[in-house]
Structure 1
Amino acid sequence: MQEMTDFDVVVVGAGIGGIYAVHRFRDQGLSVLGLEAAPEVGGVWFHNRYPGARVDVESYDYCYYFSPEIYCEWTWTEKYAAQPEILAYLNFVADKLDIRKHFRFETALAGAQWVPDEARYHLRTSVGDTATCRFLVMATGNLSAARDPHFPGLADFSGEWVQASHWPDRHIELAGRRVGVIGTGSSGVQTISAIADQVGHLTVFQRSPNFSVPAHNGPIDTTLWAQIKQDVKGERAKLLASAGARHMELDPVPAASITPQEQQERLERAWSIGGHGFNRVFTDQSTNQAANDIVSEFVRNKIRSIVHDPGVAELLCPEDHPIGSRRLCVDTDYFATYNRDNVSLVDVRSAPIERITETGIRTADGKEHELDLIIFALGFHAFTGALDAAGIRNESGAAPSDAWAEAPCALLGLMTAGFPNLFILTGPGSPSVLASLTVHNEQNIDWVADCIAYLDATGYSTIVPSEEAQAAWARNVSDAAAPLLRYHVSNYMVHVSRDGGRHFIPYAGGFGTYVEHCDRVARNGYEGFLLK
């Protein structure tokens, strides 16, 4: 066991948030230590190496804006960057900022105990080292703790199995093999499209079909990119005031304000552009069922026109949720993949997976699907998974999520009552996954850095939300989500409490409005927080 000494700030995670956080705190003159379980920087983009992995936010927005020099120096090759390019970019930034020396790699946070008499967290790591810090900053992300497969019989399987979210850093043979994919969320959709032409046979096990729209990936929009480069700081200010911290090409109108023909023309144009802009064809499609039905049926008709087999097409058509009420997938020829002779779709809603056998997967209809390789694309323990794994405890021995039985919520999504000096970047109660997480992380980190500077300048040593302010913010988060169709649909953004109450986790009032809330709280001497 090694004593790593006392730090002003310890940052957990070396992904998009952690890289900038270490840089920002160091440049503020604070002593800082970064902890990262992986052997290098990258965060989820270190682990998400599965075939076809790429971002679904345009590359010119999925990058740092705090430095015009860094923004202009890097050259993106695609509209939606693939995992190797994103990882190369994050390594480039880490080298540019010279932040690696502040990180301990292959070192996870295994426990953090708040000691009030010292106003410090006492930390222990996965390798047995210890340290103390005044401020603990969790830059572990919302979607980083993978859901592990818990299927009966998995240990009996004689073939190979991997997880999309923790794809091994080694060659996985696909050619000629019988491959099964379990899961048709974003990572499943990307994997399926990427490997279908490489494998001998691909069997997709689908429980719930998801809406997906084309990426139309290709070269980056050089006109818009050049415009951003001319005034990176100005464009950053625009993003901080925008709804989702990203540039959008569409100018939505209410569905009922135009004719059915004009509605279809708008939808066709949005389909030809592709991407998440499809969530904003009409201003009211996320809140008005009739407007959403128009968009949903348009996509279902696209699926029917693409997939040759009518029965398979209907299985791929989502009927159990409005479009946009779950994460919209962005794909490259996903639905056309099911026209291939070597691709089969298994509906596990009607015939659930019974168990994994020595030779493959057996479903409840008695069929044995023989496989050489199983790929699990099961998603993540959203919002709280990585936080729970860190073993953080307050003076009373409670974990942050212990008080979140009703719903995960932190004041401004940044701090939770009862846990002094613990900051959770893009946490529950922030826009989080509803905004581009690069600019969102920058904004949160700048707020935290300014907060620490304020505390140091005014002689305070601790900051923690008041119960009343946190409860008021939770009501604000709930009110912002109340009109959304998504609020009434089962998805990872909705927490269902033990009494059946539904609670939306992210702040859905718009990123720009959220930034205004954060700025006002800071201007008013961190109103709603208790400073000691």
Structure 2
Amino acid sequence: MTDDSHDAIIIGAGFAGMYMLHTLRERGFRAHVYEKGDDVGGTWYWNRYPGARCDVESLYYCYSFSEELQQEWRWTERYPSQPEILRYARHVADRFDLRRDISFGTTARSAAYDEDADEWVLTTEDGARTRARFLITAVGCLSATQLPDLPGRDSFAGEAYHTGRWPHEPVDFGGKRVGVIGTGSSAIQAIPVIAEQAASVTVFQRTAQFSIPAHNHPLSDEEQRRVKADYGRLRAEARMSHSGILSEQREEDPLELPAEQVRAELERRWAIGGTTFTATYEATLRDPDANALSAEFVRDKIRATVDDPETAELLCPYDHPIGTKRICVDTDYYATYNREHVELVSLREQPISEITPRGVRVGDREHEFDVLVFATGYDALTGPLTRIDIRGVDGLRLRDKWRDGPRSYLGVANAGFPNMFTITGPGSPSVLSNMIVSIEQHVEWIAEHLEHLRETGTRRCEADPAAEREWAEHVNEVADETLFPQAASWYMGANVPGKPRVFMPYIGGVGVYRELCDEVARQGYRGFHLTAAG
């Protein structure tokens, strides 16, 4: 049975889905959102692990489409915590009356293109079906959790949690022995907080990560007033910047500067903190020797922080250039290993052999725990989409099309999948940027595209295979000009066994990408096949 019909179906009620809904409603489209969770927030609805915090500053990790909204909301800290971001998302939903067009607790099981009707048919887990001319995915880039395929993984008799699917009620670590598997961004945020409560914490590390101090602090009224008074200029600059995050970048080659001058500049950036540390010098992500200067600087900081030299060396990354895996931002992560009840176990030479009912076995040693925390990340960028059974023309499944790696046009459309648009999909800046900046750009571009289709009487819009192929080649070419492909990162799908090693996001820059998309639109949506009604 078909329960309802809309102009557009949107999957996901995170920041992308909420803004897509609001924008389409403002432009006269009938849109409806289907959301797996019981409330808005997306990533920030699910990621409730201890210490969960955004690595983009709060005054810029928020919508810019409404002047009243950005002026009225008051952030409390430099880097917003998960509870505060979720409160903000709920405020937006209430302020713009979004919930009336969102079906919560509703999982999209499949979406199939009906070629005769030129419509998409969405089927939910409970079997309900909905039709719409357009399908828009707003499922997020980091929403498909990834668990390691370890023998006995489900045999553990204690409490077990994944950082990406944390319980909504607080987890009590008091007096408990806790094992943490993984040392990515989620673990780096969670471990110091867990260590404040637990009787013992054992961290299992396969790959050491570079992390920069957050230097988080409460936001003063004066700081907020100063930024908000200049929002117009700051937002405009962010939209045309490389990452959507404003930062200074020195164009000098650090290899041609006196060593003490380079170190002084790195010290200054370290004192500022945050992800823009790797943007100190333009050459850092292109020249291995320039990269080595920043990498060794951070390793020196780790050695100076961690008391035990052996532990410090284990925490020093050597297997990838700094910045080619998502740089982490922390509060007291490295210093946490100076606590007597915190132990680091390296899995580099000897991996986990099995999960047992009592804990984790590495070699001949069984580590016993009351709680296991899997901080093992996500099937990034593609996983949130391929875990839905999406079928286009002739029943082509998206997961089959992407079997050898994702290919899309502009990261927003796919050949063989007419009238389907993907917000911050593979092939767009997405995870290499301030996600809010990229979300707003995609939502506005998609909405304008749909308006164009409506005004021209176009019934079917599909990316051209040749345009898609050219874009994929461009994405790869731009990536190959950098050091990014040298790292076995989740940008490359390296954290998921069997996943193709393809650099998935577009690294050409947020501003460059915006100009390319605008040029496509000015040329009548070059690269799309547009079919008129009838």
* Superposition TM-score, scaled by structure 2 size: 0.96
The residue correspondences of 1:23-422 to structure 2 (distance < 5 A) are: 23-220=22-219, 225-249=224-248, 251=250, 253-364=252-363, 366-422=364-420
Q: Runs of 5+ in structure 2 lacking a partner?
A: none
In the alignment, which residue of structure 2 is the partner of 1:478?
Answer: 476
User: Which residue identity is paired with 2:139?
Assistant: T
Q: In structure 1, the residue corresponding to 2:77 is in which secondary structure?
A: coil
Q: List per-residue Cα deviations over 1:400-419 (Å, max 9, x = no partner).
A: 23222343131111001110
Distance 1:20 1:279, change over 3 A: same
Q: List per-residue Cα deviations over 1:96-136 (Å, max 9, x = no partner).
A: 11000100000011111101110101111112211100000
User: Which residue identity is paired with 2:413?
Assistant: M
User: Which residue identity is paired with 1:367?
Assistant: R
CA distance in 1, matches of 2:60, 2:252: 24
Q: List per-residue Cα deviations over 1:321-343 (Å, max 9, x = no partner).
A: 11101111100010000000010
2:403–2:500 Cα contact (<8 Å) kept = no
Q: In structure 2, the residue corresponding to 1:504 is in which secondary structure?
A: coil
2:380–2:493 Cα contact (<8 Å) kept = no
Shift in Å at residue 474 of structure 1?
A: 1.1
CA distance in 1, matches of 2:242, 2:114: 39
Shift in Å at residue 348 of structure 1?
A: 1.4
User: Which residue identity is paired with 1:202?
Assistant: V
User: Which residue identity is paired with 1:17?
Assistant: A
1:487–1:502 Cα contact (<8 Å) kept = no
1:407–1:495 Cα contact (<8 Å) kept = no
1:66–1:233 Cα contact (<8 Å) kept = no
CA distance in 2, matches of 1:93, 1:499: 39
CA distance in 1, matches of 2:261, 2:448: 48
Q: In structure 2, the residue corresponding to 1:210 is in which secondary structure?
A: coil
1:405–1:498 Cα contact (<8 Å) kept = no
Shift in Å at residue 503 of structure 1?
A: 3.4
User: Which residue identity is paired with 2:254?
Assistant: A
Shift in Å at residue 171 of structure 1?
A: 2.8
Shift in Å at residue 193 of structure 1?
A: 1.4
2:411–2:424 Cα contact (<8 Å) kept = yes
Distance 1:159 1:499, change over 3 A: closer
Shift in Å at residue 379 of structure 1?
A: 0.3
Distance 1:196 1:88, change over 3 A: same
CA distance in 1, matches of 2:95, 2:50: 28
Q: Please give the root-mean-square deviation of Cα atoms over the aligned residues, in Å.
A: 1.8
Higher alpha-carbon deviation: 225-234 or 367-376:
225-234
CA distance in 1, matches of 2:199, 2:278: 36
Shift in Å at residue 230 of structure 1?
A: 2.4
In the alignment, which residue of structure 2 is the partner of 1:435?
Answer: 433
Shift in Å at residue 351 of structure 1?
A: 2.0
Shift in Å at residue 220 of structure 1?
A: 3.3
Shift in Å at residue 221 of structure 1?
A: 7.2
CA distance in 2, matches of 1:123, 1:216: 45
Higher alpha-carbon deviation: 222-231 or 138-147:
222-231
Q: List per-residue Cα deviations over 1:439-495 (Å, max 9, x = no partner).
A: 111110100100000001001011111011111111211121112111122111125
2:181–2:204 Cα contact (<8 Å) kept = yes
Q: In structure 1, the residue corresponding to 2:395 is in which secondary structure?
A: coil
Higher alpha-carbon deviation: 499-508 or 323-332:
499-508
Distance 1:252 1:331, change over 3 A: farther
User: Which residue identity is paired with 2:84?
Assistant: E
2:247–2:279 Cα contact (<8 Å) kept = no
CA distance in 1, matches of 2:33, 2:446: 16
Q: List per-residue Cα deviations over 1:305-327 (Å, max 9, x = no partner).
A: 11010100110000111110111
Distance 1:506 1:45, change over 3 A: same
Shift in Å at residue 84 of structure 1?
A: 0.2
User: Which residue identity is paired with 2:278?
Assistant: N
Shift in Å at residue 155 of structure 1?
A: 3.0
